[in-house]
Amino acid sequence: MPNKNISDLKYPVGEYDYQQVVKPADIREWINQIDAFPREVREAVSGLGKDQLDLSYRPGGWNIHQLVHHVCDSHLNGYIRFKLALTEDLPTIKPYDQEKWAELADYDRLPVKDSLDFLELLHKRWVVLLHSMSMSDFERELNHPESGVLSLKTYLGAYAWHCRHHLAHITGALQRSH
């Protein structure tokens, strides 16, 4: 493995800055990233065999198979959280233990194709929702018990980052395996 420290492997695109100033151009770019992600991740894992899907992006980290299932679960939660924030006043969302979710049977027994198909349909719905939102809708907030009160524009940026973050995990693991 090339000279990479654990932090570089864990955060290959850097950590998300929840304090950044978000401009309308950022929102448009992040929606485009959410839209493109299912295609990008499908292309990244296309044709991979079991040995490649079992590659981990870092020591002690998830393998590619688990990462694909994880982004599906995470983005489903993200989509629902957006809908909650659009229909309720400052909803408190429920965090989940993503490590324990990764130990459940669906991660182990289902092929990545199932999560890729689900992710494609989920993002199709999510992008329609995002395009329908006004700038004031992006100012709506939710309360995350671990992160505090966040606007939807900040949360959108976090999910666009999440796409780039895990795509880099997948492509990095594959590059380092050669």
Rounded average pLDDT over 127-131: 98
Query: What pLDDT digit, counting tens, does each position of 95-111 carry?
Result: 999 999 999 999 999 99
| Structural domains in the chain plus CATH codes | 22-176 (1.20.120.450)
For 136-149, the pLDDT digits (tens) are 999 999 999 999 99
User: CA dihedral in degrees (135, 20, 159, 95; nearest 10)?
Assistant: -100
What is the pTM assigned to this prediction? 0.94
Q: What is the pLDDT of residue 1?
A: 43
Q: Where are the beta strands (DSSP E) in the chain?
A: 141-144, 148-151
Please give the pLDDT value at position 2: 47
